[in-house]
Structure 1
Amino acid sequence: MNVFSLSIFGIGTIIGAGIYSVTGIAYGHAGGTLWISFILAGFAAVCTAFSYCELSTMYPSAGAEYIYIRNAFPKIPYLSFIMAMMLFFGGAAISSTVALAFAGYLQFFINVPIYLVAIGLMLICTLINNYGIEQSNRVNILFTFIELIGILLIIWVGFNLNGPVSKPIFNIHKGTLIATSLIFFIYLGFEEIVNLSEEARDPSRDIPKAIFFSLGITTVLYLAVSFAVIRLIRPEVLVLSRSPLADAVSNAAPSLSRVMAGIALFSTANTVLITMLVLSRMVFSMGREGDLPRFLGKVHSSHMIPHIASFFVLVISCGFLYLKNLEMLVSFSSFATLVAFISVNIVLIVLRYTKSHLKRPYLIPLNIGSFPLISFLGILICLVMCMQFEVIIYVTALLIVLISSGYYWGIRLYANLKK
């Protein structure tokens, strides 16, 4: 994969997850400051993106955070395992979240069981990913251009509306920060570019470019869409919607609502496709390293695709559908993303001192000696965002840590007893 295809992967994931699935929930909290929430989330993501760029050129391997933490703390492999499991479950929650959004938009055309549709979509995406990376890449490029048309459509409708329903607000309030924390998981799309390092033609050159291209383009689009949404519909109406952008457009241009819903189907399907692809690579990497059962680290004899890991991702993602609470799924995904970003920034700082001799094809700017100021700023911003969630999210995260820890230490105890 070259810079273009890697960037398209990132753009497709970021746009599909955020704009088409969680805009309504975020708007309900932020109101007229929705645009500020996107700016804050984008700024925090950019700070952490610098760390990802440097680390990805040092360790161009599938597994991203899992590999980085293992190298930063080689004597404490438990840390990399727990972080990988948090990200894995967060990613599975993203797949479920966006699959439910797909089912919501499908209701514009046909009345079908939402959860059955979500499961069917994830199964189809798994089969496509098992067919080969080139096929997934072609589908992703096609779907991304379709969803970009949808973004431009809602911007056009929003800015050609006479007498806007609402207006932007410039005063940051509690809801602004809550919305920022909720939408944060959408920026995990650029991290998914890093997980495709082994498929990149020249990782040290192409990965950093693709990360900043995808972040820059999507942040500008998010900002424009947020202004359009504010002009089109009131937050108390959109917060209840299962198809937020289609409902926003229908308020001003009813004839275009079905077109918008159709485009949203491509966009949300694209995000599920990419997210499940990257999660399968993460599981494959952990299986190959022995932190998960080794059969998950096997590849298909002809396609060379981690097919077992792909179906494992499908099963776990379907399990999240039983939560039946879209905001909880979104919140947990964002919390897992924030924890991952904090960890990556810490790892970058640690490696600057413990492995200063390693070659770094990309080096973060703005340093005091070896200390990266941008990474430190990223940690501070993410910590503030981590304090905006409901108690249930912290309890869920703790349960995942406890269950994963039980598996981790249980396997090692069993291995020692066998010896």
Structure 2
Amino acid sequence: MQTGQLTTDQLAPRPERLRRALNTPLLTLYGLGVTVGAGIYVLVGATAAQAGPFAPVSFLLAAVVVAFTAFSYAELSTRHPVSAGEAAYVEAGFGAGWLATLVGLAVALSGMVSAAAVAIGAAGYLHDLTLVPQEVLTVLVVGIMGLIALWGIAQSVTVAAIITVIEISGLILVILWGFFVAPPQGFELAEMLPPLQGPHWIGIGAASLLAFFAFVGFEDMANVAEEVKDPAHTLPRAILWTLALAAILYVATTAAVLVAVPIETLATSSAPLLLVFDSASGRMQQVFAVVAIVATVNGVLIQMIMASRVLYGLADRQHLPAVLAMVSRRTQTPAVATVAVCLITVLLALALPIEALAERTAQIVLFVFVLVNAALLRLKQAGDPGGDFFRVPRLVPVLGVLTSVLLWGTSFL
């Protein structure tokens, strides 16, 4: 595909619409791809440092907290199955276009910052293998992922889904190797069940706040809603499947690592999952390193898909310049928005202190969670409009607001 030769007759701001091509399996794999990734590859050691042998419980508690907002997204995404989902929800709930634009831009920025940070990480791994300058590799990673995103939603999500399967296979390999192959040097499973009372719950709670960030990403599924088949049924199923499968993978992976690796070594490692293979051959360690590279590249692709759909959705509702709503007639993807996301991501990766920006990404997401849950509360107070969409009790967004505010406030401490 010659993306550099897109002409105005191939692009159109309104006549061409995004193609509904995503079913429940593809959307679930998309959700897993953006949720399961660098977080679990680096957070196991940090959570173990705070929660000790009870780190799996911390991931489980984080899943429960995230579940409230996930259910809110399930209703909102079927009430308003459009791109730039969070912006549309906030606009519907508060009737403030400026606030919707702010939320949409915050979501898009979080995606581009995340993609830039992950691209730098992927380039670092590749530099160790190829010795090509890291800046060149960063641009190549972003450029190649941008071309895949331009290719078409079905094709790009299929590529992301294949990579996600590889990525999840790597976690399954960790689980199997840690439980059944690696010599046990850590805790037994029975030691990972915490007593109902005791000071250990302080460490479990602190680790849960850290583990929460490993679940951030499921909300990006709302931003491809215009490309989902039968969104009223597909979106809730895929959101809930994503959350459930991610929780299972996180708990099992953490437990396997705690069984195989001494806690003292685990708590200080920046690559904790690789420690499981210390007793394995060099080839096995190389295979897992390649899987880690693939996992990071997948994060770049999915975050860029999400950010481009947010910019497209904002422009389509006249909150941003109309040029960003142009859709390629050939691929039916938001071509201008995708190119813009690629360029901004490259600039962020090469010119700005990505580490500091990435630390703020989670705070942006929690702020958006608060507004999204509050928007659903306002919509419910206005009455049920009828129609075929997923519904949750009013208590769900109330708890979503409370838990998000708590986590958002704690992140500043």
| TM norm structure 2 | 0.84
Q: Which residue is 2:101 aligned to?
A: 81
Aligned-residue offset at 1:213: 0.9
For structure 2, which runs of at least 5 residues remain unmatched after alignment? Answer: 1-21
Aligned-residue offset at 1:64: 0.9
Aligned pairs for 1:313-332 within 5 A = 313-321=341-349, 322-324=351-353, 326=355, 328-332=356-360
Tell whether 2:71 aligns with 1:50: yes
The Cα RMSD (Å) is: 2.6
Aligned pairs for 1:94-173 within 5 A = 94-106=114-126, 109-160=129-180, 161-165=182-186, 168=192, 170=194, 172=200
**Alignment partner of 1:61 out of 57, 79, 82:** 82
| TM norm structure 1 | 0.82
Q: Which residue is 2:222 aligned to?
A: 194
Aligned pairs for 1:159-308 within 5 A = 159-160=179-180, 161-165=182-186, 168=192, 170=194, 172=200, 176-233=204-261, 243-246=271-274, 248-255=275-282, 256-308=284-336
Post-superposition Cα deviations, 1:224-261, rounded to whole Å, max 9, x if no partner, equal: 11112333445675577664433x23434253221111
Distance 2:73 2:129 in 1: 41
Distance 1:388 1:115 in 2: 35
Distance 1:124 1:56 in 2: 30
* Matched-pair contact (CA < 8 Å) for 1:104–1:243: no
Change (3 A) 1:351 1:201: same
Change (3 A) 1:389 1:188: closer
Aligned-residue offset at 1:389: 2.3
Distance 1:316 1:220 in 2: 35
Aligned-residue offset at 1:206: 0.6
Post-superposition Cα deviations, 1:115-146, rounded to whole Å, max 9, x if no partner, equal: 44333212211111111112102212211211
**Alignment partner of 1:377 out of 391, 395, 399:** 399
> Whose relative contact order is higher, 1 or 2, with alpha carbons under 8 Å and at least 6 apart?
2
For structure 1, which runs of at least 5 residues remain unmatched after alignment? Answer: 392-419
Distance 2:204 2:126 in 1: 30
Post-superposition Cα deviations, 1:169-200, rounded to whole Å, max 9, x if no partner, equal: 84556665554444434433321222111111
Distance 2:167 2:104 in 1: 30
Distance 2:354 2:290 in 1: 24
* Matched-pair contact (CA < 8 Å) for 1:61–1:195: yes
Task: Give percent identity, aligned residues only.
Answer: 30
Post-superposition Cα deviations, 1:195-220, rounded to whole Å, max 9, x if no partner, equal: 11111110001110111111111110
Give the secondary structure class of the aligned counterpart of 2:246: helix
Give the secondary structure class of the aligned counterpart of 2:41: coil
